[in-house]
Amino acid sequence: MQAEQWWLIEDQAESNAVCEAFESLLSFNPYYDKSTTCQFDFTKINEPVIVFDISGISISDFEAHDENGNYRATDCIRVLKSIFADCMGEDGFMYSINWQHDVFKYNPRIDTIYDYYMTYMALPNTRAYYPDFHSNGDYVFFVAKDLSWGYLTHPFLNKIWVYGSQLVGLIEKQMERLGFLYTDSS
Q: Would residue 1 count as lying in a domain?
A: no
120 compared with 73, residue with greater pLDDT: 73
Distance of CA 13 to the CA centre of its chain: 21
Residue-level pLDDT at 12: 86
Domain hosting residue 24, numbered range = 6-31+49-182
Whole-model pTM? Answer: 0.83
User: Stretch 92-112: mean pLDDT, rounded?
Assistant: 85
pLDDT value at residue 116: 46
Residue 123 placed within a domain: yes
Q: Is residue 163 part of a domain?
A: yes
**Is residue 41 included in any domain, yes or no?**
no
38 lies in some domain: no
> Does 43 map to a domain?
no
Q: How many domains does the chain have?
A: 1
Q: What is the pLDDT of residue 102?
A: 83
- Nearest Cα residue to 106 out of 95, 90, 117: 95
